Amino acid sequence: MPKGRTKEIIARQLTRSATSVGANYRAACRAKSLADFISKMGTVEEEADESMYWMELIVESGMVKSETLHYLITEADELTALTVSSINTAKKNR
């Protein structure tokens, strides 16, 4: 990404939310109960969606070309969908 205070802030936010996806998924895998799993996976969903938001903002603001982040935005969208599906399955299995 190009230099600049705003761009640095956005890059830091994206890094924070994107790394949080993996950390919270790992925590969900070690959940103490089904309710704990659902709660932790909810955080995974939020962080994956937030990561997608930051990448879309980067593209829409013209900081980076759409082609550069297309794969990562698609990946974040798929992770969000998988997470929602896991949450729904867990809720059905209560």
pTM of the model: 0.89
Q: How far is CA 94 from the centre of its chain?
A: 25
CB-based contact 58:64 (threshold 8 Å): yes
- Predicted confidence at residue 2, as pLDDT, reads 58
Using CA atoms, how far apart are residues 45 and 42, in angstroms rounded to an integer?
A: 5
Using CA atoms, how far apart are residues 66 and 59, in angstroms rounded to an integer?
A: 5
pLDDT band at 5 (very low <50, low <70, confident <90, very high): confident
Answer yes or no: is pLDDT of 1 > 60. no
Q: What is the CATH number of domain 5-92?
A: 1.20.1440.60
Taking the CA atoms of residue 75, residue 54, residue 20 and residue 74 in that order, the dihedral angle to the nearest 10 degrees is 0
At 27-77, the pLDDT tens digits run 999 999 999 999 999 999 999 999 999 999 999 999 999 999 999 999 999
CB-based contact 52:80 (threshold 8 Å): yes
